[in-house]
Structure 1
Amino acid sequence: FGGVQPTAVMVLDLSPGLDKVLEGFKSKWRYNIRLAERRGVSVREARREDIGPFYAILQETARRDGFVVRERWYFEKLWDELEPRGLLKMFMADYEGGPIAGILLTAMGERVIYTYGASSNEHRNVMPNHLIQWTAIRWAAENGYRIYDFRGVSPMQEGRAVEGHIAGLNRFKEGFGARYVEYAGEFDLPFRSGWYTLWRKAAPAAISLRRKLKGGAAEAD
């Protein structure tokens, strides 16, 4: 997405009520939710011991989609700090006795934020991601939250995603009736131009190297 936080997000207004929210989904999305249920996908609220399976699926997602994930201890710390205060909720989707997808939500004020999502390469045809999102949206609405924030997507220009490699995120989140919102973004004020220029050049190279090293480690496993 560039920078630290995405400048473009998708948000879903929950205030009209769940019936109206569901009506706002694209028909294919409603069909996929029913399909997942018919094929035996079940979604449950996660416990702390689910962090391990969730993280394994998140790593699988990262290898497939080409992004870098934080270390496992970060998610354990996130749970320990936020979950007891009611500021974190995690859901897992199970199929044929094992987890195949998960999402981690954080909450602030009247907003629930879809912070992390993970899905296995296997059984994607049973549509766990549609059902798990609908479960999370229902939970948010039933617990009094007004906004379900799908978070980052590609910025749009003339109705098209600028970052084509993540255009699928836009389509997926828009299918739930979410509204596109673009913020001003982040601006740097460098105090030492030489160091700043070096950082701007070195940071992308470091990220690319880390991705390659993680990818190589995954193949070695």
Structure 2
Amino acid sequence: MARQERAIRTRESILEAMAGLFIEVGYEAATIAALVERTGLTRGALYFHFPTKEAMARGVLDGAVTREGILPQTYKLQEWVDLGLLLAHRMPQEPMLRAAVQLSVDPKARSMFGTRWPDWINLGEDLLVEAEQRGELLPHAVPAEIARLAVGAWTGVQLVTEARPQGPGLDEEIARLYQLILPNVASVGVLAKLDTSPHRAKRLLGPAS
């Protein structure tokens, strides 16, 4: 068991190190040689866990879609909002998430193994469909359209915020995004009860966040 746990930790450390390289230099310029230098592992040890750089990139992308921190709420719309707020809160602290976004907008990487945007869209759509079934959405609101456009808007806000480090943080900007979206999709009775505070994600994750 100890050997298996050590292998898991090694695999995660490789992905985190490669994620850092993807962020710093981009997919094309990130090399195995640089990864060897950064991790202190041999090429053989790296290849034992990941046979190619492409496999490492896929590993980074696979870890990006998560419902970590989302708790059952009275309204499914709140869970949908929490999905975006939690991701915004975790993004600056977790290189794997930042690298996943960078890989998704990198034309070379995207042409090789796609993105995880469809998975995020599907995850959001599932919550929105439940919200619709509970009467939480306005009659004209279409879950598939909302989910698709929200993922596109979220990604754009993240990229712009990262490029403007002196401006508001991602937590604040994403909270504002939902504050603009929700009046157009949430029923009046539900809208007043939704929490879109930029501090909500930190409260959901607890004091360690």
TM over 0.5: no
TM category (shorter chain) comes to under 0.3
Q: TM-score, normalised by structure 2?
A: 0.27
Q: TM-score, normalised by structure 1?
A: 0.26
Q: Which has the higher contact order (CA 8 A, sep 6+)?
A: 1
